[in-house]
Amino acid sequence: MNPPAISVHSLVKRYEDLTAVDGIQFSVPQGICLGLLGPNGAGKTTTIEILEGLLDRDAGTVEILGKNWSSHGDWLRERIGVQLQDTRFPEKLTVTEILRLFRSLYKKGRDPEEVLGVVGLEEKRDTRTIKLSGGQQQRLALGCALINQPDILFLDEPTTGLDPQARRRVWDVVEQFKAGGGTVLLTTHYMDEAERLSDQLVIMDHGKIIAEGTPEEIIGSLNAENIIAFALEDGGAPSLELETIPGVLTVRSGDVIELVVSKTNQALPTLLDRIRKQELEVADLRLHRPTLEDVFVSLTGRNLRES
């Protein structure tokens, strides 16, 4: 039987006055994409860099393809592909030159020409990297990560700072790799990226895992049917006694008030009824299905984008 692509037990990493990773464990079967989702500072990058063999751990065990870094470092490096956060390539080398360089570092791998096609940079083959857009540079980084035909692809925030179209092109490359049977470990603080690419999710906060499972399972753990978000003309809603509305699970106050509801057909009419009786004016009212963002907020009281 194949060993899991990645398995992590009781992993701990401490910096001087901070425990960046605090006893996490998870396992990634071969051929799936695991997303590590969390806000900045959650410990995602520290975790992925330990798995890539870049950082030493303070406690716990890490196995990649059933091997560990201390005894099989070079064997593993031949079999992983890595895209780090903000690596910048030499400005005056061309796309093909960079791919050739990276290809030369591995015993086995693909022809740079073929990889140009995979990441959609054929037309930019002789362009110097300084002339590439952010999305093209990111696809070049992906090309370098794929040049050795890796078994596992590590991506650290692959689309941060890119526009929507450029993000989709990066996602296409990753999905193509998955379709070929590859394993992916991805960190991100975008829930749409996590939902789109990941088969399994691990949500981290302050170095700990606060939720895990498939995106559906994690969202299902809220037991929520819908989220009602509304705002009133004159701000707050002190007299509405929202907690007592039937079908409301939790209330989050703010400029926009959010109600996590299990029974929309009871909660919504009651809410509107109370607003009408108090003669308040509705400025905004929305209803949406719960998302990973809502799970994160209800677990931590903060948004993913806040650090």
Partner 1 sequence: MSQIKELTRSRFLLFIREPEAMFWVFLFPVVLALVLSFAFQNRGVNEANVGYVEGQLSTEWVQALEADSLIHLIAFEDTVLAARKLRSGAVAVMVSGENPNLHLNYDPTRPESEIAQMRITNRLQAQEGRQDVVLTETTETTEHGSRYIDFLLPGLLGMNLMGTSIWGTGFPIVEMRQKKLLKRFLVTPMKKTSFLLAQILSRFGFLVAEVIVITAFGVFLLGVPFRGSIITFSILSFLGAISLAGIGLLVASRAKTIEGVSGIMNFVMMPMWLFSGVFFSYENFPEAFHPVFRLLPLTALNDGLRRLMLEGDGIQTMGLEISVLTVWAILSFVAALKIFRWK
* Interface residues toward partner 1, by CB under 8 A: 52-54, 74, 77-78, 80, 82, 84, 86-90, 92-93, 97-98, 100-107, 144, 148
CA dihedral 99, 102, 103, 104 (to 10 degrees): 130
With respect to partner 1, which residue has the nearer C-beta, 74 or 233?
74
With respect to partner 1, which residue has the nearer C-beta, 51 or 260?
51
Nearest to 227 by CA among 164, 178, 142, 286: 286
Q: Least CB distance from residue 184 to partner 1, whole Å?
A: 15
With respect to partner 1, which residue has the nearer C-beta, 155 or 292?
155
Q: Least CB distance from residue 87 to partner 1, whole Å?
A: 5
With respect to partner 1, which residue has the nearer C-beta, 156 or 205?
156
Q: Least CB distance from residue 169 to partner 1, whole Å?
A: 21
Q: Is there a contact between 227 and 259 (Cβ–Cβ < 8 Å)?
A: yes
Q: Least CB distance from residue 81 to partner 1, whole Å?
A: 9
Q: Least CB distance from residue 73 to partner 1, whole Å?
A: 9
Nearest to 34 by CA among 159, 186, 171, 176: 186
Tokens standing for 77? 């490096």
Instruction: Say how far residue 220 (Cα) sits from the centre of its chain.
Output: 19
With respect to partner 1, which residue has the nearer C-beta, 89 or 296?
89
3-state secondary structure labels for all residues of 135-170:
HHHHHHHHHHHHCCCCCEEEEECCCCCCCHHHHHHH
Tokens standing for 255? 């400029």
Where helices occur in 44-133 by DSSP H, the ranges are 44-51, 69-77, 95-104, 112-118
